Structure 1
């Protein structure tokens, strides 16, 4: 677990820098440099592209990670990797042709409630295409245990580019229309850079051949689309459906609240960069004991880190909202619901990696499709009735049910579960700190209030973890700074 913790920590630093830039963009620059309508439009474009992305990728990013370690000689690996590069084109080319021919019909559908969206069909398709191949090239580097550069491109490059573009709008150097076109170019550029890096690690074979186990590859790839689509639908379909039912400005307000809650998932995203290929290798080696250790430790580490972030966000939310424009305030319930869903997701550790790399992935994928349908129905029923809080409630219910079922499925099929007694100690600690600090409010400037309260909360949280040595990995890191506990 040491290598997991160290590499995850490196990735987490990069991811948090990206999230810091994203926070500036989402909470301040977008809200002040774009109108609510155009901010909502950007949210719809990116959310719809994210929904389309796993379909265009055709499951290849996951397939590369699962099957690469199966091939032992270089020639077989080259054939496999070359096939993975070409496979998505089987869907991208006909779908691109359809988007061209049916551009007006597609635009009318996505813009039936907010007409401004209908002119951006190609923006959506090209960003989705760029996202798809970026994930493929990112997986190419991850199977060679090189995740840091890809993580930088994923978390920092695009957000930094968006920041520059937003300042371009603010200074009237570029127009809103040019900003939206440049946003597409930014995602395409990121993919090109990632491709050059991936091919620098290992050049692709120029000869196209079909791998011997092509049937297994195709079956897994097509089925993994369902899993990838399910995960994205659970996270992004709410923004798409808000656009379908109510004013597009509400997408902007909802995006801000969801972004605040999404910070909780940063440790998970960082750790999964390395635990995913490690899980695949353990499963291929049939090392159940090692897998159980990884499951326990990834769960506890993520629970501890994400739990602290959840507490800091929730207890500082009032002051944080005072820093935002008035229209963007009032999303406490949204942050709470999405935050709880993200925290539960973190507590499952490498659960997703176990499912998608095991022989049981088929059942859970079909279950995921059912729950994706439920998510759409939840949003369809709740958004028209209670607005954006209905979208948050729909997302919370869907993610909670989905994660609970995945947890149960892994337990009863593989006899693995992520929780230990330390897990319940951390839950108690989170509840205790929330109860103690919820009513505490300093009378100073919001930034000073956030700093003071965060310092007190973090000191108590870390102190309890260190005093009772709740996690060996976390304790090992704390000992370097606080002194070793005898």
Structure 2
């Protein structure tokens, strides 16, 4: 097995462990320990640092992965590639820092109701953003070197374990909240230093600048690609981070904390989609190479059926058991229940529309993917501006979901118009009907004195009706072996 395959398998395993730890941290550990405004503060700090670092990086992380093969020469220190990779982003960081510090009065005005809580940590945002930037650049460098497992373990596993440990120390009284926040910032910053140490350990910390770095590839080509990557990357960052920032500024940090928990509860729905997309990306690229639109069309429809059957089941399971999920947290977080349901609808539609985004990005018209991503980011911001003042947390969730629906409708139309490929067949309405019936059965299950008993009975009823009808109707032939295996194990 080659290094790429080994690293890929390790990263897949690490990613899922990290997803699980992240979900447990954000949905169960932190909401049981932190007040909503305290959790909101941590989310706002991370969101600000992420956008701050992305703007500073000017797309150099993606550029580093794309062009490093041209510079690769370990004996020559890769022609000074690492200092070049760090140099312009650090200049960008200096400029962003001037804007960030100069804009403090404007930012604090947006968070006026929580100025006393946010104010003491505003300058610490510079530290957190700097190390976030250094982490992303070193992570890109390690990816280019095919050393990806260590950075994945550090960010996906170690950091989350340490953050949980810090929260437990705060809960036990070993830390006050100020000390917890500083430790939280320190842990999120310190992982960049671990990557630096690892680069030194493997002998790849080449920090001596070299003039040759400007001669390997035209500088204009590198900067042009970086600009394209910046627009693409910042769109994704805005989509994932802007909600908490806007809820915090338009409402308060407590609402941002409640929304963050609701957002992460809804991310459980995306786990099977991500698994399928890891498989879909290389397959679609191969179909394009072979000009095999027939197989691509069948793959498009089959993945849509799988996403529909898995997505509907998980959405119903989460939605029907929200009372149980929120019973494990402080009571104030239950205010996000409506937001969870709205976010689930948007994410479910995103999954049901299939792999349209991957078809676009692997197609000859891949540049349109940037237009769709940028449009999604702009739509998300505009809809949040309109809906949060009117509907609060529910308005932000509705904004995110509506933006997802509109962009996926546009992407699906674009794929059909460009290549006459569409993801739906007659089984999709059947699956949605089965989901509606199974959801009704689960909803009719009475509430028992024990939330645990209610959850188990409701989930069992949902699973029996949903799985039984999917099997009986052969609505998803691809899922039948998996369902039979699950049912077989449950009887054993």
Measure the CA separation in 1 of the matches of 2:265 and 2:104: 35
Distance 1:270 1:132, change over 3 A: farther
2:336 touches 2:393 (CA, 8 Å); kept in 1? no
Aligned pairs for 1:217-236 (under 5 A) are 217-236=222-241
How far the C-alpha of 1:169 sits from its partner, in A, is 1.0
Determine whether 1:169 maps to 2:170: yes
1:237 to 239, 242, 246: 242
1:3 maps to which residue? none
Greater Cα offset, 419-428 or 240-249 = 419-428
Distance 1:159 1:336, change over 3 A: same
Measure the CA separation in 1 of the matches of 2:63 and 2:86: 11
Measure the CA separation in 2 of the matches of 1:476 and 1:8: 26
Greater Cα offset, 331-340 or 290-299 = 290-299
Distance 1:271 1:216, change over 3 A: farther
Deviation readout 1:353-392 (Å, 9 max, x if unpaired): 4444555454443454344333323222222222211111
Measure the CA separation in 1 of the matches of 2:378 and 2:322: 32
Distance 1:423 1:198, change over 3 A: farther
How far the C-alpha of 1:398 sits from its partner, in A, is 1.7
Determine whether 1:209 maps to 2:213: yes
Aligned pairs for 1:39-188 (under 5 A) are 39-63=39-63, 82=82, 88-99=89-100, 102=102, 104-105=104-105, 107-115=107-115, 116-138=117-139, 150-188=151-189
Measure the CA separation in 2 of the matches of 1:423 and 1:213: 50
How far the C-alpha of 1:334 sits from its partner, in A, is 0.8
Aligned pairs for 1:55-454 (under 5 A) are 55-63=55-63, 82=82, 88-99=89-100, 102=102, 104-105=104-105, 107-115=107-115, 116-138=117-139, 150-194=151-195, 203=204, 209-210=213-214, 211-212=216-217, 214-272=219-277, 278=282, 282=286, 285=289, 289=293, 295-296=300-301, 298-356=303-361, 360-420=365-425, 423-454=428-459
Measure the CA separation in 2 of the matches of 1:279 and 1:80: 36
Deviation readout 1:129-170 (Å, 9 max, x if unpaired): 444454455555666777666554443333222111111111
Distance 1:169 1:401, change over 3 A: same
Q: Which has the larger radius of gyration?
A: 2
Measure the CA separation in 2 of the matches of 1:477 and 1:78: 48
How far the C-alpha of 1:209 sits from its partner, in A, is 1.6
TM-score, structure 2 as length reference: 0.79
SS, match of residue 321 in structure 1: helix
How far the C-alpha of 1:314 sits from its partner, in A, is 0.8
2:339 touches 2:397 (CA, 8 Å); kept in 1? yes
Deviation readout 1:17-56 (Å, 9 max, x if unpaired): 4444444433444334333332221122123233334323
Greater Cα offset, 110-119 or 35-44 = 110-119
Measure the CA separation in 1 of the matches of 2:445 and 2:8: 33
2:30 maps to which residue? 30
Measure the CA separation in 2 of the matches of 1:140 and 1:9: 20
Equivalenced residue count is 476
Deviation readout 1:247-279 (Å, 9 max, x if unpaired): 322222222222211221233445555655x37
Task: Calculate the aligned-residue CA RMSD, in Å.
Answer: 4.2
TM-score, structure 1 as length reference: 0.80
Distance 1:221 1:55, change over 3 A: same
Deviation readout 1:195-252 (Å, 9 max, x if unpaired): 6668888947775624536544433332232233223323322221222222322222
Distance 1:166 1:300, change over 3 A: same
Greater Cα offset, 284-293 or 431-440 = 284-293
